[in-house]
Amino acid sequence: MSSISKTSEIAYSSLLLIALLAILSCAENVKKSNAEATLSTTYEIPVSKHTQEVPAIDQVVQHIIDLPRLQGIFHQEVSARVPAKIQISEKIPATLNVKKYDQKVKMMTTAEVQEANIDDVIVFNVFEFKADTLNFDLFFKTENVNCYGKFRYNKKNWTLVDYEVTEFKM
C-alpha cells in the first residue's frame, strides 16, 4: 500500500470522526434546548417588543413577586409585612400597580424606607430591558433572600427563561 493511500485513509477517517462529533454536539444542544423549553413559563404581556410602558412593568413585576419559589419570604401572617413593600427606583416607578395577598403593594422611596427603619422591602437591584430580554435581580433583606432571573420576549409574550432564589444564612 502506498503512502498516498494511507494518507488518504487517515484524512477520510479524520473527516468521519469530525462529522460524528459535530452530529453528537448538535443532538446534545437539541436536548438542552428542549429541557429549557420544558422549564419555561409563558406570561401574556401584550406590549410591543421594545416598549417599556408602565402596564408591562406592572405585569412583569406581578409575575416576579408571584414566582413559586419566592412565596416563602412574604409571611402574610406577620402583620408588619402586609401590605408587601417595593422600593421605588430609577427602573421601578412609584406608579407601579401590583398586588400581594389581595392588597396593593406599597411603593416606598429610599428615604421613606430609611426613615421608617424597615427592611421588609423588596429592592430591585437590576431591572433591565435589553432588546428581547428582561433581566431582574431583587433582594429582600428581612429574609436575606436574593432572586435573579430572566424573561425573554417572543411575539406577544414574555417567557420566564429561568430564575434562582438564594437565601443567605446569617
Count of beta carbons in the 10 Å neighbourhood of residue 36: 11
In a shared domain, residues 53 and 20: no
User: Which residues form the domain of 11?
Assistant: 1-39
In a shared domain, residues 15 and 75: no
In a shared domain, residues 79 and 94: yes
In a shared domain, residues 91 and 155: yes
Count of beta carbons in the 10 Å neighbourhood of residue 149: 18
pLDDT in tens, the chain (170 residues): 555 566 556 655 554 445 444 444 444 443 333 333 333 344 444 343 334 443 478 888 999 999 999 998 888 888 877 889 999 998 899 999 999 988 999 999 999 999 999 989 999 999 998 888 999 999 998 889 999 999 998 877 778 999 999 988 86
In a shared domain, residues 50 and 101: yes
In a shared domain, residues 142 and 59: yes
Q: H or E stretch including 81?
A: none
In a shared domain, residues 88 and 158: yes
Q: Who contacts 124 (Cβ-Cβ below 8 Å, separation ≥6)?
A: 86, 87, 89, 91, 92, 136, 137, 138
In a shared domain, residues 72 and 125: yes
What whole-number distance in Å separates Cα of residue 154 and Cα of residue 86? Answer: 27
What pLDDT score does 97 carry? 93
In a shared domain, residues 74 and 156: yes
In a shared domain, residues 65 and 28: no
Per the structure, the count of domains in the chain is 2
pTM (two decimals): 0.66
In a shared domain, residues 116 and 51: yes
What pLDDT score does 26 carry? 45
What pLDDT score does 58 carry? 87
In a shared domain, residues 71 and 154: yes
What pLDDT score does 2 carry? 57
Residue after which a domain boundary falls, among 39, 54, 69: 39
Q: Are strands 41-44 and 103-104 parallel, antiparallel or unpaired?
A: unpaired
What pLDDT score does 121 carry? 93
Let me know: does 86 contact 121? Beta carbons within 8 Å. yes
